[in-house]
Structure 1
Amino acid sequence: MLKTGIRISLAQIPVVKGNVVENLSNHLTMIAQSSLYGANVVVFPELSLTGYELELAQELAFSPQSPHFSALSRASIENDIVVIAGCPLNIKSSAKPTIGAVICFPDGTIEFYSKQYLHEGEGTFCASGSEDYVFNVEGHRIGLAICADFSSTAHSLNARMLGADIYIASALISDSGFEADAKILSHIASKHRFPVLLSNHISSTGGWSACGNNTIWNASGDVVLSSASKEHCLVMCSINGHEVYAAQVQQIT
């Protein structure tokens, strides 16, 4: 598949505990803004539609036919952009929801991914997924991780074996955890020789104070750009082949 330039937007947004309607509205605004800045893909943090509220996961879990997904899909189509948003997902094989992502494509296709590697304590409320997920955009093949997924060496290796040339992590990372996680993500980039992108929370959610710092690492594992803040913003970059360029932070006012 011929690779062309791709532009990716990492949404750094506040979330409201359990308020899907308000969070969805914020998503729709950021989707439109990302499209205006020329993005082909916009990525939101882990459980971005509900907040990282594990005790509410069962109550708030989305079915695949959720009208909220229909709203995201319409926004994807209207703005010609792939949308990746986080939410608890109901699945047939488990009584517990998974920590999931919905992926909406401009052709109307809706796909799902469930986090495979859970943090300690998450298994009390959520089930784990069992399948890796990669998708194609503009000739690129993108591997998707949800937070602790990237802590398993098998996850990024599997993405690479499935042909991924970009690796995206949708996460909740705290102030105290960022340094260690950033080292892991940098190592993944240099080991597999592909850019690695992080979309993180900025709110206090689920008892964690998230640190923001949406970051882009190049294929050598070097930081190309970080928001270096907890500000409401979009961190943007363009990628052609394995080269990252035109990286910038777009503030949201």
Structure 2
Amino acid sequence: MANFNTHLNTAFMVSGTLSLTVYKAGLVDDSGFLMCVALGTIGGLLPDLDSDNSTPIKLGFNITSFIFAFGLVMHWRSELSLLSLIVLWLAGYCFMRYTVFAVFTNMTVHRGVIHSVPYMAILGLGLTCLSYYVLQLPLTASWFYGLFLFGGALVHLLLDEVYSVNLSNMKMKRSSGTAMKFYQHKDKWWYLLIYTVLAMLLYLTPPFEPFWQQLRDPAPWAQLKVGILPDIVEDMLRERP
């Protein structure tokens, strides 16, 4: 399968190109452009959350542990002494980094249900709902954020499938078919739960039709077409006989 750097660089390039496209079309603003790039890149690392020794899971749990410990200290800062806050900080960090991490890694298997298309769809739709209903972000931005996260994850899964082909003799490796999957019979009960959650999210997601109508509007794409080439190149093309 593809390594960490391949996933990171490919997801960044794909999400960066698509983000620039929708930004130049006027569909997202400056902050939306940066968020789309970041979320697409993060999405390109998400499927490896089920790998016990992967860089994304270690980095993710380190960051989560720091945030969790910081949140505990901020919540109790006015009620506890300095020494108690230090103990709370260390206890909170160690609990997340070692206890929760150990439970998570023992419950997950690499290229299991997490490493699948419907699971990544849940994360993308979940982000869309969170952005729209909780963070009160605009409809267009909320859908773009969820789609870029999901799109980055699809890039990851596709890369793993491509790397499962031995191009030297055009044979399929043993890992073929374990990356971009929608169902595995041995995990049928997990997939039943996943598709149930996915159906609920599809029901709860913000309206898609206005977002789709905005994408189908020819005006933004006409604006993009005008500025697709540098002015000097467009002048040269117009001057050609």
What TM-score bracket applies, with the shorter chain setting the length? 0.3 to 0.5
When normalised by structure 1's length, the TM-score is: 0.32
Larger C-alpha radius of gyration, 1 or 2?
A: 2
Q: Higher relative CO (CA 8 A, sep ≥ 6), structure 1 or 2?
A: 2
Choose between structure 1 and 2: higher helix proportion: 2
Choose between structure 1 and 2: higher strand proportion: 1
